[in-house]
Amino acid sequence: MNRMLTSLASVILCASASAQEERSRPPITGIAAVQFYSTNMNSARSFYTRVMSGEGTPSDACRWCERSSIGGERPMTTFPFLMQLSSGQNLVLATAPKTPPSNLFYEMVLATDDVQAMKKYLAAKKIPILKMRDSSDEYFAVIDPEGHRIGFRRPTNASTPRAWSNLRIIHVGFVVRDPDAEDRFYRDILGFHVYWHGGRKDDETSWVDMQVPDGTDWIEYMLNVPANADHHTLGVMNHMALGVPDIHAAEEQLRKNGWSGNEQPKVGRDGKWQLNLYDPDDTRVELMEFTPTQKPCCSEFTGPHPGQHP
């Protein structure tokens, strides 16, 4: 009898462990924030507040940013600038180290309704959770296979509408050299799916757009980037895109705000109107219409397009 009970207990424990491994993934509804390093905070602040008509707030408004530093892994990082879009998303600038890295992309944060459940889910998938100076129920971070820092937090309510209240982050792009490894993380574990892919030529793939499983935002694999890419190239590749309903109206507003760039709106290979801006650190800020105006090259869209509101 004792032997039978012991065997039964073992079966129950194994079943429990198996269920833990098969823990369901909490929803991932979009991009909550993106963070870049800045080497000249005053110039960057001027760019994002004056040119983008965004309102910066003191660093103490970003509670989860203060927990983003990794004890023992890198020096303490300060986050003196946060801009909250009316979508509730955040753009955050971190003070760059004295010797700035060529890659100024700091972190992308994904929105999930249940942060703790997501943490347990990733832990069950054997994804290491980064150690924080202060534990938090609101935020945690991991490192993806390419070494990019990926955070998770609850989505926040929309801020007070301003002149650019229709702006929202619709995608974040970063350099990817091993797309298969990234797929195992973003597709197989997090549930992302291909939204569109294409290249400068019809028969090549330079960009793969991976859409979140429970929303319309996406990340963009920037492929075929040389290993020795310089700061400017990395600034072009590691970027964020802000969705607008009308690219020409957006350009007109930018000119009124003092932007004097030489870039002109153009239709991208995905069939969407876009306009590229560059902040003082050469980080690309892409404005993009929500929907295509013509048929895309290379592949069809396989997911819903974003809109003005998440």
Closest CA to 131 of 71, 81, 85, 187: 71
pLDDT for position 117: 97
Of 95-99, 271-275, 294-298, which range is least confident?
95-99
Q: 105 versus 164: which is more confidently predicted?
A: 105
CATH class of 28-153: alpha beta
pLDDT of residue 147: 96
Q: What is the model's pLDDT at position 166?
A: 59
What single letter denotes the amino acid at residue 9?
Answer: A
How confident is the model at residue 79, as a pLDDT? 72
Strand order in the sheet with 218-222: 193-198, 207-211, 218-222, 168-175, 239-244, 284-289, 273-278, 266-267
Instruction: Assess whether the region 28-153 and the region 168-289 belong to the same CATH fold.
Output: yes
Identify the three-state secondary structure at position 116: helix
Residue percentage of the chain with pLDDT more than 70: 80
Collapsing DSSP to helix, strand or coil, 24 comes out as coil
8 A C-beta contact, residue 277 and residue 259:
yes
Q: How is domain 168-289 classified at the CATH fold level?
A: 2,3-Dihydroxybiphenyl 1,2-Dioxygenase; domain 1 (3.10.180)
Quick check: pTM over 0.85?
yes
Q: How far apart are CA 139 and CA 234, in angstroms?
A: 27
Alpha helix segments (H runs only) across the chain: 2-21, 41-46, 115-124, 179-183, 231-237, 247-256
305 has a pLDDT exceeding 70: yes
Is pLDDT at 76 greater than 70 in this prediction? no
Element (H, E) at 285: strand 284-289
The residue ranges of every structural domain in the chain are 28-153, 168-289
Query: Above 60 in pLDDT, residue 129?
Result: yes
CB 2 within 8 A of CB 143: no
Phi, psi of 241 (to 5 degrees): -125, 135
CA-to-CA distance for 126 and 120, rounded, in angstroms? 10
pLDDT, average across residues 70-87: 65
Give the count of alpha carbons within 13 A of 231, CB side only: 12
Q: Say what the pLDDT of residue 258 is.
A: 86
- Mean pLDDT over the full length of the chain: 86
> pLDDT tens-digit profile of 82-127?
888 878 898 899 889 889 999 999 999 999 999 999 999 999 999 9
Give the pLDDT of residue 103. Answer: 94
Backbone φ, ψ for residue 244 (5° rounding): -135, 150
User: Which pLDDT belongs to residue 131?
Assistant: 86
Rounded to the nearest 10 degrees, how much is the dihedral formed by the CA atoms of 102, 105, 106, 108? -160
Asked whether the beta carbons of 37 and 149 are under 8 A apart, the reply is: no
pLDDT at 138: 87
Position 237 pLDDT exceeds 50: yes
Let me know: does 105 contact 174? Beta carbons within 8 Å: yes
259 vs 19, residue with greater confidence: 259
Least confident of 89-98, 128-137, 171-180, 247-256: 128-137
Q: What pLDDT, in 10s, does the model give residues 4-57?
A: 444 544 544 444 444 444 679 999 999 999 999 999 999 998 898 877 776 555
Please state, in angstroms and rounded to a whole number, the distance separating the CA atoms of residues 37 and 44: 10
Question: What is the reported pLDDT for 66?
Answer: 52
Rounded Cα–Cα distance for residues 196 and 93 (Å): 29
pLDDT band at 308 (very low <50, low <70, confident <90, very high): confident
Tell me what pLDDT residue 51 has. Answer: 76
